[in-house]
Amino acid sequence: MNPNFGLKLKQTQQLNQRLQQALRVLHMSNQDIEREVEDWLQENPLLERPESDEFSDAELNNSLSAALPRSNQIGGDDAEDAWLNVAEEEDFNAYLHAQVCEHPLSQTEAAHVHILIDFLDDQGYFSDSLSEVIDHTPLDWMLDEDDLQNALDILQTFDPPGVAAADITESLMLQLMRQPPSPERQLAGHLIQSSFEQLGKNRQQNIQRFQKMYPESTPESIQTALDLIASLNPYPAYGFASAEPTAYIQPDVWVRETADGWKVSGNEAAWPKIQINREYAELLQDIGDASPEWKEKLQEARQKIDSLELRKSTVIRLAEYIVERQEDFFIFGEIGLVPMLLKDAAAELELAESTISRAANQKYLACPRGLFALRYFFTQAVSTDSDNEGVSQGAVKAMLKQLVDSENAHKPHSDEALVQLLKQQGVEIARRTVAKYRESLGIPPAHKRKLIG
């Protein structure tokens, strides 16, 4: 017998309250952080909002160096490594994460489902491809498309119905499949899959139109099928806290063109400002040996101030990297986007990929072309017929839209024709990819674009 013995080293890290605070703050949107700061001000009397005639946070913090050592501040390798351990989620995501333990899953399956939940968009769709998930996660996770597909199938059984669908059509079909079987359900499925774009606001016109398309169905059956479709939720995430409509999105950073090129500046209105109350701080200094409770409040106040500063600097650094890497976008528009992955930014900024992901979460950039989420600028490459790094999906979509906009309305390009036209411009993609991009742009197929007469 030759027994095999193995020694496995496993490194774990327990986050203290200081680092947990910083990680939560980085992940928040500016609306969330504003509400969070209001809670801080209510809970800690040592914190206050600065007035124009108050001296700076830096000056006040320096005056308190004797009361609280700087060794308690966030920084160094410990802070960078801690970004890997973020587990703070929006309400909708938390609702899904909590369901994982309700299913009989292996540890690996559960981990994969957790990963996919984090890739859902604000509407509850899984609009990325599985290969994009692999490209945007650390290599040492060893993700496999087959395993992720299994996890996606599991996630699509979660509540709310329709979650993790690729688009509205698939979401409605997933919801429909949970309804009791009936001829009306079957008809509703046909309408969603083949005629969804033809659904209008006028119910009677819909019934008449579909009566011609499905002559074997009665008007009553069609009406029941339409009622069934109307009862479905087109956006699974709606109704949750993270999906509440926002009347106004305030950018986190501004991007402006100057004589020296494109420059990034923080939108000061989007960054909450707090400082330590001067009177209380001076009183603590005069007392000298303050009670442990007040020392704890003082330490907590400084941690919160530091976490806001770290959040601001990290987001601005990321925005500066985006502007440098995607400069052509600000000049030419979407067609100027170049491939860029989270790991590219992580390597350049010497941060963990999860740091970049959290820093980009619900953060926005305003420029002369409009308001854009930071995540918008991260897009994978599409292969070309040259040896360069390829072009981004966003650029390919822009090229595709230009081709359709300039086509002969009486003889629109088929998907295969679009494949050949893109190939002439150095972009080689499959016909099914063209169809996928076309659908994501809301462009109907050629036979529906054709102008008759």
pLDDT higher for 403 or 386? 403
Mean pLDDT in residue range 359-383: 83
Burial bucket for residue 425 (CB in 10 Å: 0-12, 13-18, 19+): middle
pLDDT higher for 405 or 425? 405
At 380 the pLDDT is 64
Q: How far is CA 264 from CA 205, 324, 327, 367, in A?
A: 52, 10, 12, 10
At 164 the pLDDT is 92
Torsion of the alpha carbons at 315, 321, 322 and 324, rounded to the nearest 10: 150
**Is pLDDT above 90 for 291?**
no
Confidence of residue 311 (pLDDT cuts 50, 70, 90): very high
| Closest to 329 (Cα-Cα) out of 389, 383, 385, 372 | 372
At 343 the pLDDT is 86
What percent of the chain has a predicted confidence (pLDDT) above 90?
Answer: 11
Mean pLDDT in residue range 330-353: 85
Angle at 23 between CA 18 and CA 29, to 5 degrees: 130
At 192 the pLDDT is 82
| Closest to 168 (Cα-Cα) out of 240, 238, 234 | 234
Query: Is residue 271 a contact partner of residue 364, using CB atoms and an 8 Å limit?
Result: no
Spacing of C-alpha 10 from chain mean position: 31
At 318 the pLDDT is 95
As a whole number of angstroms, the distance between CA 269 and CA 319 comes to 17
Residue with tokens 């054709």: 450
Residue with tokens 């595709």: 400
pLDDT higher for 166 or 285? 166
As a whole number of angstroms, the distance between CA 305 and CA 159 comes to 38
Mean pLDDT in residue range 117-125: 87
Q: How far is CA 398 from CA 152, 424, 430, 443, in A?
A: 29, 15, 17, 12
- Domain ranges in the chain are 92-231, 253-379, 382-449
Beta strands 275-276 and 364-367 are unpaired
pLDDT tens for each residue of 162-183: 999 988 889 888 988 888 888 8
Query: Is residue 77 a contact partner of residue 310, using CB atoms and an 8 Å limit?
Result: no
**Is pLDDT above 70 for 239?**
no
As a whole number of angstroms, the distance between CA 59 and CA 278 comes to 11
Q: Which residues is 249 bridged to in the sheet? A: none
Mean per-residue pLDDT over the chain, rounded: 77
The lowest-confidence range among 41-55, 181-195, 217-231, 402-416 is 41-55
Architecture (CATH level 2) of domain 382-449? Orthogonal Bundle (1.10)
Confidence of residue 323 (pLDDT cuts 50, 70, 90): very high
Confidence of residue 150 (pLDDT cuts 50, 70, 90): very high
As a whole number of angstroms, the distance between CA 329 and CA 332 comes to 5
pLDDT tens for each residue of 427-449: 777 888 888 888 878 888 888 88
**Is pLDDT above 90 for 341?**
no
| Closest to 326 (Cα-Cα) out of 334, 315, 337 | 337
pLDDT tens for each residue of 47-104: 888 875 444 444 434 433 333 333 333 333 333 343 343 333 347 888 898 888 888 8
At 399 the pLDDT is 79
pLDDT higher for 290 or 183? 183
The runs of H, that is alpha helices, within 196-326 are 203-213, 219-230, 278-287, 292-325
Got the DSSP string for 360-375? HTT-EEEETTEEEEGG
At 149 the pLDDT is 93
pLDDT tens for each residue of 193-231: 777 666 655 667 667 777 677 778 788 888 888 888 878
**Torsion over CA: 445, 422, 339, 365 (sign):** negative
At 70 the pLDDT is 33
Q: Which residues is 253 bridged to in the sheet? A: 266, 365
The runs of H, that is alpha helices, within 54-182 are 57-63, 76-82, 91-100, 107-117, 130-135, 145-155, 168-176
